[in-house]
């Protein structure tokens, strides 16, 4: 094993790269103990001539993972990244929860096609999908665990029952305690057995760090750059690198009511789009709400001044900002003008005043310090509006 999370955390503190926090240190120690336990299990299984006996013992005493929750930016992802890099498990996977579920849905769809074609026996795609994932993955680390989709809610219990039976160890981060997952969701009673299973197979840890260690990366600098020129692009790139710890990121897709919404770049709970990606495509409020619930930080490059010819794009922009604001998403953007000058299309400019006001508020320290998530009942399920 390379440095344990505890050793790595102590080194970062010693170099002054992060400030010491007792809650973070305690979690680093907890993750180090789990890494050592997984390493010992691996070595025992590898060196024993009685592999069948160790396999039986392993099945009887499964390794308990971790469910880590707490407010945004307290260091959950940073510490799990240290753990993932340190642990010597060959079949390990690190993914954002939304990416993982998109992969599960794709596997379910593919398996249903095989069943329909007669290439696979049975009528339930979940057992073969679970077996496939378990064959590939011994340790699964998920970031931003959240459940707001009834399809996901109904799949998770059946899927993870089989994954845990196959020995999978789960380490996940979330902004929500397990008992609050899918709160108010349709048929939530059917979801509760999964919550019980999650609490049985993972130790639940609240990371109550005293400060948002990422907030300073945004609050200490600008989050709105104008005009949208080369200098603004460079500033956006620097802010992106700060928020994502210079991780490269990759494209992904979000599923919304059977459709795919493309995300050009996503990593560590942040997503980056151009104005055209979001507002010149046939997207509606449900698409923007999905984006707002999935990502805690959204970057938008190149917001133009919008005149009469941009009526549809301007309307979509209003819906987008409403969704981001209601979910308290941190917004970093470059634009051709200050918010109150972005819409120049006569009467529509008057209606745009609320959006401009929100854009100014989203630059404030109070807004940046607010936790990610819906702020009231009115923001949970807005009426569907589509602008074609």
Of the candidates 201, 189, 223, 209, which has an alpha carbon nearest to the alpha carbon of residue 299? 223
Domain 5-206 -> CATH class: alpha beta
Q: Cα dist. 25→11, 78, 86, 155, 183 in Å? A: 12, 12, 16, 35, 31
Position with higher pLDDT, 217 vs 103: 103
Same fold, 5-206 and 215-379: yes
Q: Are 266 and 96 in contact (CB under 8 A)?
A: yes
Q: Please name which of 223, 225, 226, 227 lies closest in space to residue 214, comparing C-alpha atoms.
A: 223
Q: What is the mean pLDDT of residues 99-121?
A: 91
The CATH architecture to which 215-379 belongs is 3-Layer(aba) Sandwich (3.40)
pLDDT tens-digit profile of 369-383? 777 775 533 333 333
Q: Write the DSSP string, 159-191.
A: HHHHHHHTT-EEEEEESS-GGGTTTT-TTGGGT
pLDDT number for residue 48 = 52
What ranges make up the beta strands (E) of 175-328?
202-206, 224-225, 250-256, 259-267, 270-274, 297-303
pLDDT the model gives residue 72: 65
Mean pLDDT of the chain: 85
Q: What is the per-residue pLDDT for 384?
A: 38
Assess whether pLDDT exceeds 60 at residue 85.
Answer: yes
Between 85 and 382, whose confidence is greater?
Answer: 85
What is the domain partition of the chain in residue ranges?
Answer: 5-206, 215-379
Give the model's pLDDT for residue 29. 96
């Amino acid at each position: 094993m390379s440095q344990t999370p505890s050793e790595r955390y102590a080194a970062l503190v010693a170099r002054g790269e992060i400030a010491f926090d007792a809650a973070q240190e305690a979690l680093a120690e907890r993750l180090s103990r789990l890494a050592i336990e997984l390493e010992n299990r691996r070595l025992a299984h590898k060196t024993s001539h009685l592999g069948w006996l160790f396999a039986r013992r392993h099945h009887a005493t499964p390794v308990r993972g971790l469910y880590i929750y707490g407010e945004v930016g307290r260091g959950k992802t940073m510490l799990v990244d240290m753990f993932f890099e340190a642990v010597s498990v060959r079949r390990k996977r690190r993914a954002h929860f939304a990416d993982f579920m998109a992969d599960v849905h794709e596997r379910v769809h593919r398996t249903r096609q095989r069943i329909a074609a007669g290439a696979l026996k049975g009528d339930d795609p979940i057992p073969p999908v679970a077996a496939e994932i378990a064959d590939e993955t011994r340790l699964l680390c998920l970031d931003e665990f959240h459940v707001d989709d009834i399809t996901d809610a109904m799949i998770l219990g059946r899927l993870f029952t089989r994954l845990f039976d196959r020995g999978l160890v789960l380490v996940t981060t979330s902004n929500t305690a397990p008992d609050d997952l899918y709160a108010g969701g349709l048929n939530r009673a059917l979801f509760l057995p999964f919550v019980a299973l999650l609490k049985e197979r993972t130790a639940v840890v609240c990371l109550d760090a005293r400060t948002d260690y990422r907030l300073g990366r945004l609050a200490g600098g600008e989050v709105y750059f104008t005009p949208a020129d080369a200098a603004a692009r460079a500033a956006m790139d620097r802010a992106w690198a700060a928020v994502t710890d210079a991780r490269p990121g990759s494209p992904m897709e979000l599923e919304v009511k059977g459709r795919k919404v493309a995300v050009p770049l996503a990593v560590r709970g942040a997503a980056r789009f151009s104005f055209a990606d979001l507002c010149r495509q046939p997207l509606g409020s449900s698409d923007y709400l999905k984006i707002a619930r999935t990502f805690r930080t959204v970057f938008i490059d190149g917001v133009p001044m919008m005149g009469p010819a941009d009526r549809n794009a301007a309307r979509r922009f209003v819906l987008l900002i409403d969704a981001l604001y209601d979910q308290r998403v941190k917004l970093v953007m470059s634009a051709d003008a200050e918010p109150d000058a972005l819409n120049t299309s006569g009467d529509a400019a008057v209606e745009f005043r609320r959006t401009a006001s929100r854009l100014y508020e989203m630059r404030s320290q109070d807004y940046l310090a607010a936790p990610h998530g819906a702020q009231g009942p009115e923001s949970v399920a807005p009426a569907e509006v589509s602008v074609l």
